[in-house]
Chain A
């Protein structure tokens, strides 16, 4: 049974050799846990782990400072990742538009302070969707509270599992200064048609547009130049990279117009006792010693994704999602959330076992060595709209298998029996 399922997968997607992929991830290769919580964070390939060790064992030095060889090499390695990241998200010659932060959340906050403080005024409006992660809601609430501005929401439609984009035309006014929305919903997996939505926003006005790519960039090709958005944020740890690294990409002229975020070393050209002159972008936004080692170890994560290819990864995730949705639909006593078809989602199935609180499901699945996320997934407004306290979410990535989906499905009747 095991071989049959895996080999079907291999035949259909000749590029993705699942057993070989699994062997590249030390934690996955141990087969100790069925890891279905990739929307929270992903496992790391050997090459990423080795890059970290290698940096500390052979290359450790501060960057942009030393005149000695080691420091120059560390600087070069760090800056080369900026180029790699820019290319990965479709920003030609965009290295100077890539700012490294701690995570996607910090990148949103950076925009809310460094851009928002300067360009948002009393009475202005920011439009979000009801499916945003808290990290793409709370920074805007804080900003609009400071500025006496307003947040408005594109409603989520539980019937289709998508935001009601047509509401944009009535929500947008000339006071709308920013529209910020997620490429992919973390709790439901819904894929938003970024290009189309940006086009309709541009037809209605000229607000800045921020894309939350935390769940999109790891799975779907990003094309910031073609999309024509103004900001893109994402986190390395959700795309095989280390924790502690986030990315803000923004149009260069916008970065240049923005005020600094944090003040300190590295972000200045010269400092007198009274004042300072800011460094060029992107360094203007990277005050203090950055997370050099983790940025450098982010490189092999992108290399790995490019080697396998987002197209092959996407096909594999589609296969897992379609299979999981089909099996869940056939399982009695299950409520499914989100879009009807696998094609409209990105590697996520979100459900509840009727009569069982998601935290009880999660604990009972943990007992079967299945790691899923349960609860509100940092989407409390969305859960409220769905009238639930939370869901059980399985989220897939390139190393997951159909057998792992089977294990999840097999555990459900056991849980139902306990609660019957």
Chain B
């Protein structure tokens, strides 16, 4: 894949026009994530109903890769069951961290554009930040017996 592919229009579009921007009121899960290496900071808020992500809000600042990945994630996972979300997170991590990639399911097709990040290993963390952050939020929520939670995820330095 050519390097030009990393900053494709679709990534820049999500970066410039992030989807699901804002915070949902009275969230069941509020989780913040940081990547100190880049200075990226994100906040994800979710309203959960019957184990489903009813509404999802994103506040993010940082590089184009982390912001685009966050926006695409919010679009792909909005309205999904928590176990579907967990599967999607595992799938995305696998796609980013393994040499071979599988076919992307239709609801995740925008995310294919992030495959170009794999040429820049230090930037893979930028793409993963939102996903690791959301995983932390859901884990905490379920560990607390589906009680309202506030959690935080910080990426380590490489």
A402 at the interface (CB under 8 A from B): no
CA distance A376 to B38 in the complex (A): 8
Which of the four size classes fits the interface of chain B?
10 to 19
Contacting residues, chain B, for A366 (C-beta < 8 A): 120
B48 at the A interface (CB under 8 A): no
Closest to B61 in A: A389
Residue B151 interfacial (CB < 8 Å): no
Q: How many residues of A contact B (CB 8 A)?
A: 18
Stretch from B62-70, B95-103, B106-114 at the A interface: B62-70
Chain A residue nearest to B6 in the complex (CB): A363
- The answer on a CB contact under 8 Å between A419 and B12 is yes
B7 touches A418 (CB 8 A): yes
Residue numbers in A under 8 Å from B22 (CB-CB): none
From B3, B36, B37, B62, contact of A357 by CB (8 A) = B62
Q: Complex: how many Å from CA A356 to CA B3?
A: 18
Q: Is the CB of A363 within 8 A of B39?
A: no
> Complex: how many Å from CA A359 to CA B64?
9
Closest-CB distance, B99 to chain A (whole angstroms): 20
Bound CA span A221–B37, Å: 33
CB pair B120–A383 under 8 Å, yes or no, is no
8 Å CB contacts to B: which residues of A265-307? Answer: none
Contact A359 B7 (CB under 8 A): no
Contact assessment for B123 and A363 in the assembled complex, using a CB-CB cutoff below 8 Å: yes
Complex: chain B residue closest to A419, CB-CB: B12
Known: A359-B38, A363-B6, A366-B120. A418 touches B62 (CB 8 A): no
- A363 near B12 (CB under 8 angstroms)? no
Q: How far is the CA of A356 from the CA of B7 in the complex (A)?
A: 12
Cβ proximity bits B39-70 to A, threshold 8 Å, 1 near / 0 not: 11000000000000000000000111100000
A375 part of interface (Cβ distance < 8 Å)? yes
Q: How far is the CB of B124 from chain A (nearest CB, A)?
A: 12
Q: Are A375 and B39 in contact (CB under 8 A)?
A: yes
CB-CB under 8 A from B37, the residues of chain A are 375-376
Chain A residues near B39: list those with CB within 8 A.
375-376, 383, 388-390
Q: List 22 A-B contacts (CB under 8 A).
A: A357-B38, A357-B62, A359-B65, A359-B123, A360-B63, A360-B64, A360-B65, A363-B120, A364-B7, A367-B4, A375-B37, A376-B36, A376-B39, A380-B36, A383-B39, A389-B38, A389-B39, A389-B40, A418-B7, A418-B12, A419-B12, A419-B64
Task: Give chain B's interface residues, CB within 8 Å of chain A.
Answer: 3-4, 6-7, 12, 36-40, 62-65, 120, 123, 126
Q: A357-B64, A367-B3, A419-B12 are known contacts; what are 18 more A-B pairs with Cβ within 8 Å?
A: A356-B64, A357-B38, A357-B62, A359-B63, A359-B65, A363-B6, A363-B120, A363-B123, A366-B120, A376-B36, A376-B37, A376-B39, A380-B36, A383-B39, A388-B39, A389-B40, A390-B39, A418-B12
Top-10 shortest CB links A-B: A389-B39, A357-B63, A359-B63, A367-B3, A360-B64, A360-B63, A359-B38, A418-B7, A363-B120, A390-B39
